Structure 1
Amino acid sequence: MSVKIGDRIYENGKEFIAVEFASNLTENKGTLIRLGEEIEKQVVLFRHQGKLFCLSNICPHRHQPSIYRGFVENGCVTCPEHFWTYRLDTGRISTKSKELKNSKHTR
């Protein structure tokens, strides 16, 4: 079966939309995907240590669409704006602070 970007894929009763080919993702570099016009509909794909991850592109710290430009290291991405760090596998905050919010983990 040949899949194209934009195709709907059904697996185990769930629907997915092909947004990028895994072969196009660069190790430790974010790929921005726009699912709509609003910044809330931006996600970022990462390839890190052979695994693929998808997070919201919005940094909860200042609601900035900047995660795709982040620095990836040790299973985390660091926002380039104010250096808040989020786990790639869960979207949870990795930086130590009581005031920090978690990034949305997206599938």
Structure 2
Amino acid sequence: MDVFAKNLRRRAQELGLANAEVARRAGLSERRYAHYVSGRNEPDLAMLLRIAEVLQSTPNDLLSATAAAASDPRTTLLDRLNSAATLMTDSDLQAAIAQAEAVVRLRRR
């Protein structure tokens, strides 16, 4: 159970997500998710799948004692961007894309 709790904390930190935000995105109460993060309880399979989806991970990675440590910084940033994008409305996503494209254009000058 400690391995799972540790991996939850590590992955949320990599994505820049607070426990409350992970809980909200997974449809859990903060208290229930806190029990998972503390190692006090383990989720059932359905909840494990939802948490893994929120954390852009797999159940195997979350349960594994040999889960990869933080990946390279660029991959972590892309994971964070993807995680945020999944919650955006279409219009918010279009605005974010326009901003990203503007940054790329400025870099090319």
Same fold (TM over 0.5): no
Q: Which has the higher contact order (CA 8 A, sep 6+)?
A: 2
Q: TM-score, with normalisation over the residues of structure 2?
A: 0.24
> Given the two structures, how large is their TM-score scaled by the length of structure 1?
0.24
Quick check: which one's helix share is greater? 2
Which structure features the higher share of strand residues? 1
